[in-house]
Amino acid sequence: MKKILLSGVKPTGRPHIGNYFGAMRQFVQLLNSGDYECYFFIADYHALNLIQNAEEMKRNTLDLAIDYLAIGLDPNKATLFKQSDISAHTELAWIFDTIVTVPYLQRAHAYKDAVAKNKEINVGTFNYPVLMAADILLYDADVVPVGQDQKQHVEYARDIAQKFNNTFCNGNECDQGGVFKLPEPLIMEDVATVPGIDGRKMSKSYGNTIELFASRADIEKAVMSIVTDSDSEIPKNVYAIHKLFKSESELKPLYEANKGKYKVLKEALIEDIGVFIKPLREKRAELAKDENAVLKVLADGADKAKIKADAKLSLAKKAIGVQVN
């Protein structure tokens, strides 16, 4: 039996090269390793905390599905679906809500960050880790590849699984091992945080990204605005992005030979990003021509995922006593 791997991505905007090197590329590698039974889903209900416009939600969801197909997540090898197609996610989240305490959720980093920014927080944002636990536990996931920022959420899923098993699986039919398997995070940390064009972490929320499917003109615009510090001959922000695309042994002589020549180095970076992005962009354009085929991939994925999720939900409902047989 292969280990089960699951991860979700929110459809909140165009992916950037930080997302690619920090997460998306690893998904493809893990899938192609053949070591796992893989589930990848679009976390649209998580995104609803941020995207509250139907057209935008539809567009982002379809775009993300196309992106994932374009980078090589093969629907014949992995189950690709969207969260909202499987009602077991929200149903199980409610069950978990009844065993998770408020102080426990108040300790979540994402919640604390939002509080620190004095944001008025909706219940969905507060409950975010509970829905995420349901996402993970419904599929008996062994490993959950996520960025460092999501590690705590996977730990929450473990805790919630354990708490459910302890609360409901004593001396009844779910006794052997409990209903839920304890997942492990797989922290994709061999890639350091990709810096944005301003030197901070590349992030949609900072507006400092280089988009993964960017046109040549967009790449040029982004690279030319990479902030360069005048106190060093090697522009460190340019170099940090460049080394995603070329080995350091290739880069060292180039940067050595062009000390202080920021424009030349940026032009070399534009070239290298362009070579890397071109085939991805072409594949994406091809896929985008047939949106119905993409929607069909998600529908077929949902059919498969639903069987598994519903079976697990049914076990949970038996364990809590709301389902008799």
What residues line the site for ligand ADP (CB under 6 A)? 10, 18-19, 22-23, 146-147, 149-150, 193-194, 201-205
Cα–Cα dist 308/292, whole Å: 25
Residues 112-151 that bind ligand TRP (CB under 6 A): 132, 135-136, 144, 146, 150
201 binds, among ligand TRP, ligand ADP, none (CB under 5 to 8 A by kind): ligand ADP
CB of 276 to ligand ADP, least distance (A): 16
62 binds, among ligand TRP, ligand ADP, none (CB under 5 to 8 A by kind): none
Of the pair 179, 277, the CB lying nearest ligand ADP is at 277
- Cα dihedral 65/111/188/222 (nearest 10): 60
CB of 79 to ligand TRP, least distance (A): 14
Give the strand pairing for 184-187 and 36-42: unpaired
One character per residue 147-176, x = contact with ligand TRP (rule: CB under 6 A):
---x--x-----------------------
Residues 28-47 that bind ligand TRP (CB under 6 A): 43, 46
Give phi and psi for 230, each to the nearest 5.
-80, -10
Based on the number of CB atoms within 10 Å of its own CB, is 277 exposed (0-12), middle (13-18) or buried (19 or more)?
buried
H or E element at residue 251: helix 248-257
Q: What is the DSSP letter of 13?
A: S
Of the pair 75, 196, the CB lying nearest ligand ADP is at 196
CB of 299 to ligand ADP, least distance (A): 24
State the first-to-last Cα distance of the chain, in angstroms, to the nearest integer: 28
Residues 7-26 that bind ligand TRP (CB under 6 A): 7-10
22 binds, among ligand ADP, ligand TRP, none (CB under 5 to 8 A by kind): ligand ADP
CB of 113 to ligand ADP, least distance (A): 12
- Taking a C-beta distance cutoff of 8 angstroms, is the pair 27, 145 a contact? yes
Cα–Cα dist 131/213, whole Å: 30
- Cα dihedral 203/7/283/293 (nearest 10): -130
CB of 9 to ligand ADP, least distance (A): 6
Of the pair 146, 316, the CB lying nearest ligand ADP is at 146
- Cα dihedral 296/298/299/301 (nearest 10): 120
Q: What is the DSSP letter of 22?
A: I
Query: Nearest to ligand TRP by Cβ — which residue?
Result: 8
Q: What is the DSSP letter of 275?
A: H
Cα–Cα dist 275/270, whole Å: 9
CB of 200 to ligand ADP, least distance (A): 9
Residues near ligand TRP, by CB under 6 A: 6-10, 43, 46, 132, 135-136, 144, 146, 150, 153
